[in-house]
Amino acid sequence: MDRGVAFLLKVQNPNGSWGSATQTKGLNIYAPVPGAPHAFRAGTTGLCIAALVETAGDDPAASAAIDRSEAWLMEHLGGLRRATGDAMYNIWGHAYSIQALVRLRGRKPEDVERRKRIDAMIRQQFDMLTRYESVDGGWGYYDFRYQARKPTSSSISFVNGAVLIALAEARDIGLEPPKKIVDRAIAATNRQRKKDFSYLYGEYLNRTPMRGINRPGGSLGRTQCCNAALRAWGDDTITDNVTENWLYRLYVRNGWLDIGRKRPIPHESWMQVAGYFYYFGHYYAGVALSQIRPEEQPPYQAMLAKLMLDRQEKNGSWWDYPLYNYHQQYGTAFALLTLKRCQ
């Protein structure tokens, strides 16, 4: 973990953020400028802040890096919007910035004015998530239908899950998100849930539930996120037994996710798995793990920790998909957040 923290400190941008739109290759994720790079940087920075606060907040160098990143986030986050009518990566920026702000709020409790500014920024993210909510409920990151003022994007299960977890964290510190968007996101996610607790990739695939990406192997990481999100909002069908079953599956069937790791073409692997499913899924496995009884956690903590430690790179980072110059930063943040839940 120390090596991962050192990597994040080394690659922080001079302005306090993490990541950039450089390191392009022959095939790049569709990312219209300037909105998509702004969204990727906001989301990556939010994750890196969360990871450093959780794993190294008392270290002087890390604390200084957190202060710089907080200043960047507070200056730039308020202007984050969708890139174009069809590309709404800003959803990731809003979600992960909420998680960062929740953690930043716990630092320097004596600074009342600072806390008020953070609370106002969190509420502004609620407003943005309300603005960019899909007409179907929940959120998506592409709108290939009508590109209307109110997005007509298909509701995407794991996007809903990520946002719902961020909103639950805000709720838990006393900042209640709008009930309407929470209820609609829960309903949209449940429409994509199958009886075995695998989840459709998106609601637009509801007529092909046995397509590879919608089967358990394709849902291996997505299920961790969606189960944790629904449980965080009171779904009592996500029992300890359900969570433990899917944590075990994640370990013994990890190859379905791992074989897609580092492949340069999204969804080219078996079960249409994309490389960027990997550390995302394991982070949310850590979140799900923290929801079960403490006495049941150690075996799953050991499994998750082994998966993370075995895949750390020589420079201390983790990465799963070559996404411009964001991948090592977000991958390392996800891995550190996962390992923190294994301690």
- What are the start-end ranges of the H helices in 77-178? 90-105, 112-131, 157-172
Q: Against a cut of 0.75, is the pTM above it? A: yes
Q: Residue 281's closest CA among 231, 230, 228, 237?
A: 228
Fold assignment, 2-340? Glycosyltransferase (1.50.10)
Question: Which one-letter amino acid corresponds to residue 237?
Answer: T
Question: Kind and range of the H or E element at 245?
Answer: helix 240-252
Average pLDDT over residues 110-135: 99
Average pLDDT over residues 67-80: 99
pLDDT confidence tier of residue 84, bands split at 50, 70 and 90: very high
Maximum CA extent, the chain: 54
Residue 113 vs residues 78, 106, 108: alpha-carbon distances, Å? 18, 13, 11
Q: Residue 306's closest CA among 242, 250, 241, 246?
A: 250
Peptide bond just before 34 cis, omega within 30 deg? yes
Confidence at residue 85, expressed as pLDDT on a 0 to 100 scale: 98
pLDDT in tens, 3-45: 999 999 999 999 999 999 999 998 999 999 999 999 999 999 9
Torsion-angle region of residue 238: left (phi > 0), alpha (psi -120 to 50) or beta? beta
Confidence at residue 264, expressed as pLDDT on a 0 to 100 scale: 95
Query: Which two structure tokens, joined as six digits, stand for 113?
Result: 């004015």
Average pLDDT over residues 162-170: 99
Confidence at residue 64, expressed as pLDDT on a 0 to 100 scale: 98
Confidence at residue 31, expressed as pLDDT on a 0 to 100 scale: 97
**Residues 295, 174: Cα–Cα separation, whole Å:** 28
* Distance in angstroms between the alpha carbons of the first and the last residue of the chain: 11
Locate tokens 């957040």: which residue? 337
Confidence at residue 199, expressed as pLDDT on a 0 to 100 scale: 99
Confidence at residue 297, expressed as pLDDT on a 0 to 100 scale: 99
Query: Which two structure tokens, joined as six digits, stand for 230?
Result: 């629904």
For 109, counting Cβ atoms within 10 Å of its Cβ (0-12 exposed, 13-18 middle, 19+ buried), the class is exposed
Confidence at residue 320, expressed as pLDDT on a 0 to 100 scale: 99
Average pLDDT over residues 221-250: 99
**Residues 222, 68: Cα–Cα separation, whole Å:** 32
Q: Where are the domains of the chain?
A: 2-340
Contact 90, 34 (CB under 8 A): no
Confidence at residue 210, expressed as pLDDT on a 0 to 100 scale: 98
Average pLDDT over residues 290-300: 99
Q: How many C-beta neighbours within 10 Å does residue 280 have?
A: 23
Confidence at residue 295, expressed as pLDDT on a 0 to 100 scale: 99
Q: What does the angle CA 307 – CA 56 – CA 327 come to, to the nearest 5 degrees?
A: 50
